[in-house]
A = this chain, B = another copy of it.
Amino acid sequence: MARPREFENAAVLDAAIDCFWAEGFGATSIRDLSERMGISGPSLYNAFGDKHGLFIQSIERYLDQTMRERIARLEGSMAPAAAVRAFFAEVVKRALGDPERRGCFLLNVALERSNDPELGDSIAGYLGEIEAFFRRQVTAGQADGSIASRQSAIDLARMLLGVILGLRVIARVNPSRPLIEGMARTALAALDPDPAPRRRT
């Protein structure tokens, strides 16, 4: 038929993710993207529509490769309480292993583009996927006794989601290991089953 594309869709999308992740949507220019992706401006527009379309496709690829991959992997291989703790451990590791201080791409997008008419509802849904993962684990853990039933599964899931997000905010600004680990450990303590009764001192 005609001349084939000279680039792989996935590879150039990864380059676009790098740009948007490091600088945000507004501060990333078409010229930045063109250079990092290794394709010219018109090719970019031909393949992805416009800057905003490229942005949305970058977000979807990022989510598939990070958040959704992690949820599927942990949920398929671990007991409920262990899956939640492993999720936290991986996020803590990412938050503390971020010398360029780029933070969480999804969180950056959530704050920069929460009023974007094409993204607002989607972003709520993406965060809802994390909350739903926590809720499934907590529900299962409460059923088998490995997770406390002092609070409802939905409320525990909501609290865990809040701490995950807050953790990534503070790690962006102050990536201190004791701070981040203390925050995570204390939140996870809410999952501990009721301890053996102990007397007050």
Name A residues whose Cβ lies closer than 8 Å to a Cβ of B.
24, 26-27, 101, 103, 107-108, 110-112, 114-115, 120, 123-124, 127-128, 150-152, 154-156, 158-159, 161-167, 169-170, 172-174, 179, 182-183, 185-187, 189-190, 194, 197-200
Contacts and interface: CB of A to CB of B under 8 A. Distances in A.
B169 A110 contact: yes
Contacts of A110: 169, 172-173
A168 to B, nearest CB: 9
A125 to B, nearest CB: 9
Main secondary structure of the interface of A (DSSP, over half): helix
Given A163-B166, A183-B159, A197-B199, A114 B173 contact: yes
A172 B103 contact: no
Given A162-B162, A165-B165, A111 B114 contact: no
